[in-house]
Amino acid sequence: MKKPVIAIDGYSSTGKSSISKVIAQKLGLIHLDTGALYRGVTWFALQNCLYEDGSINLGQLFSSFDQIELEFKNDNGELILFLNHIDISKAIRTNEVSDNVSFVAKQKEVRDFLLQSQRTLAQKGGIIMDGRDIGTVVLPNADFKFFLTASIDERTKRRYHELLSLGINTEEEQVKKNLLERDKIDSEREIAPLRQAEDATVIDNTNLTKDETINSILSHIQKI
């Protein structure tokens, strides 16, 4: 029997990736954090495709796609993102990348560049993919779709503590500002905006622990 394809979408810092990772382990699936792919392209752009004023040169980025090789490698059950054979899993979590990733991700050229690779990975089944347009665009025929949301204050707190745990110093108010800006860009972009798929199960985990959110998702999957 073919293993299921699961799509989890939602806002930043609702725990999509960490929750998907645990569910993948419990169900014997591969977990793919698509947000990491967009962060990888953004990191490449910040390293290689800047104007003199420090802003991203999109034309140069688009013409450099053939120089971008993104791949996930399995490290004790965890998929680590490599760009051109270099581990960038920590580098892509910096504030600089966070401040620019929504701008890069809303570009049609970038989304087209990453779309087919995501679909190819899902063809064999047995995968859980999280992002912002998985259930609506990337995997519209996924067996299960979930949409995670939480209050901005709770998401700010989670993101702030995540950054501190990575050794990245920041101000909580700056984290909140960044999240609100990303919400706006992601929801209003013309190409594949962040929105709930009509057939997705919505889970507001403002007052739920990570384990409670995981159990809620698993209960929906195991009902079938």
Q: Is the pLDDT of residue 77 over 70?
A: no
**Per-residue pLDDT reduced to its tens digit, 187-218:** 998 888 899 999 999 999 999 999 999 999 99
pLDDT of residue 78: 67
Residue 220 lies in a domain: no
Count CA within 13 A, CB hemisphere, residue 213: 25
Residue 114 lies in a domain: yes
The confidence band for 72, taking pLDDT boundaries of 50, 70 and 90, is confident
> What percentage of the chain reaches a pLDDT higher than 70?
97
Residue 223 lies in a domain: no
Q: Is the pLDDT of residue 224 over 60?
A: no
CATH at residue 100 = 3.40.50.300
The residue behind tokens 């990736």 is 17
The confidence band for 31, taking pLDDT boundaries of 50, 70 and 90, is confident
Residue 221 lies in a domain: no
Compute the distance between CA of residue 43 and CA of residue 97 in angstroms, rounded to an integer. 6
pLDDT of residue 5: 94
Domain count, the chain: 1
Region 181-192 average pLDDT: 88
**Per-residue pLDDT reduced to its tens digit, 144-155:** 999 999 999 999
Q: Write down the pTM of the prediction.
A: 0.77
Residue 209 lies in a domain: yes
> Which residues contact residue 208 at a Cβ distance below 8 angstroms, ignoring those fewer than 6 apart?
216
pLDDT of residue 74: 74
The confidence band for 168, taking pLDDT boundaries of 50, 70 and 90, is confident
Region 68-85 average pLDDT: 83
DSSP 3-state of 51: coil
Range of the domain at 168: 5-215
Compute the distance between CA of residue 54 and CA of residue 46 in angstroms, rounded to an integer. 8
**What does the block give as tokens for 179?**
């999240």
> What percentage of the chain reaches a pLDDT higher than 90?
70
**Per-residue pLDDT reduced to its tens digit, 88-119:** 999 999 989 999 999 999 899 999 999 987 88
Residue 224 lies in a domain: no
Residue 222 lies in a domain: no
**What does the block give as tokens for 211?**
């384990």
- Single out the residue of 140, 118, 162, 113 nearest to residue 12, CA to CA: 162
| Pairwise pLDDT comparison (157 vs 73), residue with the higher score | 157
Residue 104 lies in a domain: yes
∠ Cα 132 19 76 (to 5°): 110
Q: Is the pLDDT of residue 52 over 70?
A: yes
